[in-house]
């Protein structure tokens, strides 16, 4: 019986795979992801941490994290179709950067949407991150503070992405 040879992946392949994994998780195109990376690189601090925090602070991700949508893709669609309000005003840009203290809510006319009701029922207050607060009765939420990388439960090695882009 012949054993299958296992090839060792190159460093580049490992880095590329990690970047593609993060892109798929957040549902971004290459150009969008590169722009977020460039912003993260310009900020003070650790670039990899800034990248993950920057991705987490997008409106579509916040809607998902608050439990108003069952997936990031559904959250993106809710935002795009005008069902989400930021400080009482409709925002239809999924990449909108939400800052701490802003109130994110589901439009009153959209609160009875099955996708929203099912997502809230499935979440039931479980799994909410410490840097977010939410009121499921009013379907409103808020970022209490800017999260650190340690506050974000994401099994990725962002340093590999930084190494990939620094070549």
Identify the domain containing residue 159 by its residue range.
11-165
Tell me, yes or no, whether 151 lies in a domain. Answer: yes
Sign of torsion over alpha carbons 34, 38, 40, 45: positive
**What is the rounded average pLDDT of the residues 121-129?**
75
The pLDDT assigned to 129 comes to 83
Tell me, yes or no, whether 6 lies in a domain. Answer: no
Number of domains in the chain: 1
- Inter-CA distances, 164 with 13, 104, 105, 139, 145, Å: 9, 34, 37, 40, 30
Tell me, yes or no, whether 47 lies in a domain. Answer: yes
Tell me, yes or no, whether 143 lies in a domain. Answer: yes
CA distance 158 to 37: 11
Q: For position 33, which CATH number holds?
A: 3.10.290.10
For 20-64, the pLDDT digits (tens) are: 999 999 999 999 999 999 999 999 999 999 999 999 999 999 999
Tell me, yes or no, whether 138 lies in a domain. Answer: yes
Tell me, yes or no, whether 133 lies in a domain. Answer: yes
Tell me, yes or no, whether 113 lies in a domain. Answer: yes
Helix ranges (H only) for 9-100 are: 11-26, 30-42, 47-56, 59-66, 72-80
CA distance 76 to 84: 10
pLDDT of 15 > 60? The answer is yes
Tell me, yes or no, whether 89 lies in a domain. Answer: yes
For tokens 């608050």, name the residue. Answer: 66
The pLDDT assigned to 167 comes to 77
pTM confidence score: 0.89
CA distance 45 to 68: 31
For 86-104, the pLDDT digits (tens) are: 999 999 999 999 999 999 9
**What is the rounded average pLDDT of the residues 150-158?**
92
């Amino acid at each position: 019986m012949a054993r299958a040879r296992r090839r060792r992946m190159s460093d580049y392949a490992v880095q590329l795979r990690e970047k593609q994994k993060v892109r798929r998780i957040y549902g971004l195109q290459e150009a969008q992801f590169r722009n977020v990376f460039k912003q993260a690189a310009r900020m003070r601090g650790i670039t990899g941490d800034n990248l993950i925090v920057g991705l987490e602070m997008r409106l579509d991700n916040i809607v998902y994290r608050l439990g108003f949508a069952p997936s990031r893709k559904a959250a993106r669609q809710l935002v795009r179709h005008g069902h989400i309000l930021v400080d009482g005003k409709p925002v239809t840009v999924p990449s909108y950067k939400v800052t701490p203290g802003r109130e994110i809510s589901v439009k009153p006319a959209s609160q009875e949407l099955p996708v929203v009701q099912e997502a809230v029922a499935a979440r039931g207050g479980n799994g909410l991150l410490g840097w977010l607060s939410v009121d499921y009765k009013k379907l409103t939420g808020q970022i209490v503070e800017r999260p650190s990388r340690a506050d974000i439960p994401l099994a990725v090695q962002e340093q590999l992405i930084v190494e990939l882009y620094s070549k």
